[in-house]
Amino acid sequence: MQVIKEGHTYELENFEDRVNAGQVVQFIEKQPIEGTDHLGTIQDGTTNEEVLKMLIDRMNHLQSKFPCKANAIVITNLEESLMWLNKRTEDRIERNVEGKNLS
């Protein structure tokens, strides 16, 4: 993995072809909008939640073909991670700070 822009853009190596460029993952990037407490999107991209959903789907697919305890544990932990990220968002919405430059 190569960090292109810390926290936002990453290049993941291809598994077999390590010579050519890998896969770029771009996360959404927001910054404060001057004069407000709101955040504005300066670069669209994906979210942690979407990446976790993708990994959960892939691990479920692999588990259906090659079932093992390790896969089941990975799936459980990915699902728990997604649950905590969703909980964080729900809490921020409840406190009316979601999408704002506030803690």
pLDDT digits (tens, 9 = 90+) for 4-62: 999 999 999 999 987 887 999 999 999 999 999 999 999 999 999 999 999 999 999 99
Same domain, 40 and 73: no
The rounded distance, in Å, linking the Cα atoms of 22 and 57 is: 21
Same domain, 31 and 64: no
The whole-number pLDDT of residue 86 equals 98
Structural domains counted in the chain = 2
Please name the residues in contact with 4: beta carbons below 8 A apart, sequence gap of 6 or more: 10, 11, 24
Same domain, 62 and 103: yes
- pTM > 0.85: yes or no: yes
The whole-number pLDDT of residue 21 equals 78
Q: What are the two backbone dihedrals, phi and then psi, of residue 44, each rounded to the nearest 5 degrees?
A: -70, 155
Cβ atoms within 10 Å, residue 49: 14
CA distances from 3 to 60, 68, 87 (A): 28, 32, 28
**103, pLDDT greater than 70:** no
60-69 pLDDT, tens digit each? 999 999 999 9
